[in-house]
Chain A
Amino acid sequence: MASVSTSKAEVSYIQSGLLSNPPLRADGRGLYDYRTVSLETGVAPLANGSAHLSIGQNPHDGGGGTEVLAAAKLEVESVDPGKGEGMDGGRIVCTVSCSPSAYPHLSSSALDDLQHDLTTLLHQTLAHPSLHPSNLAILAGKNSWLLNLDCVVLADAGNAHDALFMAARAALWDCKVPRTRGVEYKAAAAPAAKVAESGEMDVDRDAEAQQSGFDTRSIARAVDFELPDYWDEGEVLGGRERWPVCVTLNIAAPPPGSKGSLVPYLDAIQQEEAATPLRLLLVFSFPPATSARLQAMRILGSGELESDQIRAFVGTGENYARQLWDALNGKLRDEDIRRGQRARDRFARR
């Protein structure tokens, strides 16, 4: 992750604070306390689902936090192997771009590399077949939805990974897939055989004549699709409760030569990230009625861990990921109510 220029004295001050007993952090938080997270969904009116998330924003002027904007946009693409990469059942493409104003100390090539790394992490995790939503298909062998998930890091005050995954989960939760209906073209049945049988020319064929060649009710083999007109924007993505959350365990290591154990802590600010380069990224999903699923695990930064330490950290991470998961789910349900039920009530009162 990007490191701000931090002096050696500052680094050692932050490290010894984290390693002291009780641990001390610059903003007075405990090791496992998050800063306030605020989330709003439906911020981009032209996207199919969107979310704006910030961690640690100053409540007075709304500045000084990590800010991420995520938007999911659907487009129809052809499944034909000769035309691009579309495939049956749809696909997901994630992109992360970082605003240069979030990283003023980075050169443009370093910013590109950072964007690429975040994109790879997000794409490999969210576009994995194990998380693929069930309703991105339109017509087998013809068309499917391409879900573009674009995230923008507007400001980085530390812990961009967790913010990205939370914003991505919120945007995908919010995403609505338009309903489609297959259409089949049918030629009117040839009346010739009937005529020969009856020998009469005056058979009333009104009923047949009125039958449309554009019958969409019983579909044998659909060749095209249409968008039925509904009052809402469609149905939510299948399995939307499975999108994972990320917990970054930053690991403060005691200086070489001294005794002491590693101290993991959550939600580092940017100076803390610069002072403790080692991070363990844990991306968890908690499907209902089954055990927790790891969707990604990465060690980032220089430093090494022992197998037992990782084992302990994964346990700790799972615990906090579940808390984050529950809190985020509560907020997402509130947002659904705010934008659905309340908006309708407000409209009715007008």
Chain B
Amino acid sequence: MSLDRRRINGPDESFPPVFALDGLQGTLASPRKDRSPTDIRPIFLQPGLISQANGSAYIETAKTKIACAVYGPRQSRNAAYSETGRLNVEVKFTPFSCARRRAPMRDAEDRSIAVAIHQALVSSVRLDLLPKSTIDIFITIIESDGLDGCVASGSVAASAALADAGIELLGLVTSCAAAIVGRDIWLDPTEGEARFSNGTLVLACMPALKKITSVWQTGEMQVTEALGCMDACQEKCTEIHSVVAQALLESPSLK
């Protein structure tokens, strides 16, 4: 195993503390206590926080906190000639982002989230205008509250960062998650809600063009439920789109 000697290495394995209260939270409060099923958590989005990157964005939705930096377009290194540009997404977790510690280097990277975000973004970027080049997107998850929320918020932040970097896009990508709890559709589930749900769905779309770029569904859903989730998410994405557009208009890089 590779060990980084420059940092203080924690113990090989660690376990989250178990609190006496946890045992009581085995079931989910239904109906939802803190917000209505079709509400999402409030979004704070700030483009242009990382000054050395070409474009960047920081997003916070309740307990999900994600920073995203875009570098490029720059010349592809050690890659064969390609007529279209390449979009490279890397997702890293900070060691303290989850309930259980994520050891640096060993399990800090999560390719499945990176693939999901890549899928959400790739059709929105005009890669055909950028032959031989690469756009690198680095996403750092500072605090995570469920994978679905990370994928959705990460996609929104990355799209805002791409716009902040001045890269030509077909449209802003926004994304929203939904879960089926019992018979209801709950938008933007937290980690606990997603765990007790029958299935979850993350949808990414370009609301300006009414095009869906990614659907990422896991778990058990009836066909009508899945289509209902998609419609609810798409509606919410239109609202998120105005939040992102407003944040970009107010960003210091434009002033």
User: Judging by beta carbons under 8 Å apart, are B215 and A310 in contact?
Assistant: yes
**Binary per-residue interface labels of chain B (47-70) against chain A in the complex, 1 for a CB within 8 Å, 0 otherwise:** 000000000000000000000000
| B10 contacts partner chain A, Cβ-Cβ < 8 Å | no
Q: Which residues of A contact B201 (CB under 8 A)?
A: 297
CB contact between B212 and one of A113, A125, A285, A304 (< 8 Å): that residue:
A304
CB-CB nearest in chain A for B196: A129
Q: Which residues of A contact B220 (CB under 8 A)?
A: 128, 130-131, 285, 293-295
User: Judging by beta carbons under 8 Å apart, are A306 and B216 in contact?
Assistant: no
| A262 contacts partner chain B, Cβ-Cβ < 8 Å | no
| B222 contacts partner chain A, Cβ-Cβ < 8 Å | yes
CB contact between A304 and one of B211, B221, B223, B227 (< 8 Å): that residue:
B211
Rounded to whole angstroms, the CA-CA distance of A304 and B214 in the bound complex is 8
User: Judging by beta carbons under 8 Å apart, are B226 and A113 in contact?
Assistant: no
Q: Which residues of A contact B209 (CB under 8 A)?
A: 304
A186 to B: closest C-beta gap in Å: 31
CB-CB nearest in chain A for B212: A305
Contacts A116-B111, A307-B234: A318 and B223 contacting too (C-beta < 8 A)? yes
Rounded to whole angstroms, the CA-CA distance of A128 and B198 in the bound complex is 9
Give the contact stretch, choosing among B24-32, B115-123, B158-166, B183-191: B115-123
User: Judging by beta carbons under 8 Å apart, are A299 and B226 in contact?
Assistant: no
Q: Which residues of B contact A298 (CB under 8 A)?
A: 119, 215-217
Q: Which residues of A contact B216 (CB under 8 A)?
A: 297-298
CB-CB nearest in chain B for A113: B111
Contacts A306-B211, A314-B227: A120 and B112 contacting too (C-beta < 8 A)? yes
Q: Which residues of B contact A292 (CB under 8 A)?
A: 222-223
B79 to A: closest C-beta gap in Å: 11
Rounded to whole angstroms, the CA-CA distance of A12 and B231 in the bound complex is 34
Rounded to whole angstroms, the CA-CA distance of A167 and B216 in the bound complex is 23
A-side interface mostly = mixed
CB contact between B111 and one of A120, A297, A314 (< 8 Å): that residue:
A120
Q: Which residues of A contact B234 (CB under 8 A)?
A: 307
Rounded to whole angstroms, the CA-CA distance of A93 and B93 in the bound complex is 23
Size category of the B interface is: 20 to 34
Contacts A117-B115, A307-B230: A297 and B210 contacting too (C-beta < 8 A)? no
**Binary per-residue interface labels of chain A (304-321) against chain B in the complex, 1 for a CB within 8 Å, 0 otherwise:** 111100110011001000
CB contact between B215 and one of A81, A82, A299 (< 8 Å): that residue:
A299
User: Judging by beta carbons under 8 Å apart, are B219 and A130 in contact?
Assistant: yes
| A63 contacts partner chain B, Cβ-Cβ < 8 Å | no
CB-CB nearest in chain A for B204: A299
CB-CB nearest in chain A for B127: A302
| B81 contacts partner chain A, Cβ-Cβ < 8 Å | no
Q: Which residues of B contact A318 (CB under 8 A)?
A: 223
A272 to B: closest C-beta gap in Å: 20
B86 to A: closest C-beta gap in Å: 12
User: Judging by beta carbons under 8 Å apart, are A293 and B222 in contact?
Assistant: yes
Q: Which residues of B contact A314 (CB under 8 A)?
A: 223, 226-227
| B176 contacts partner chain A, Cβ-Cβ < 8 Å | no
| A124 contacts partner chain B, Cβ-Cβ < 8 Å | yes
Q: Which 7 A-B pairs have the closest CB atoms?
A: A130-B220, A304-B211, A297-B217, A120-B112, A294-B221, A304-B123, A302-B122
Given A82-B15, A295-B218, A307-B231, output 16 extra A-B contacts at Cβ < 8 Å: A124-B112, A128-B199, A128-B220, A285-B220, A294-B199, A294-B220, A297-B201, A298-B119, A298-B216, A300-B119, A302-B123, A303-B123, A305-B212, A306-B212, A307-B210, A310-B227
Query: What would 24 A/B residue contacts be, using CB atoms closer than 8 Å?
Result: A82-B15, A117-B111, A120-B111, A120-B112, A120-B115, A128-B219, A129-B219, A294-B220, A294-B221, A294-B223, A294-B226, A295-B220, A296-B217, A296-B218, A299-B119, A299-B214, A304-B206, A305-B212, A306-B210, A307-B210, A307-B230, A307-B231, A310-B212, A318-B223
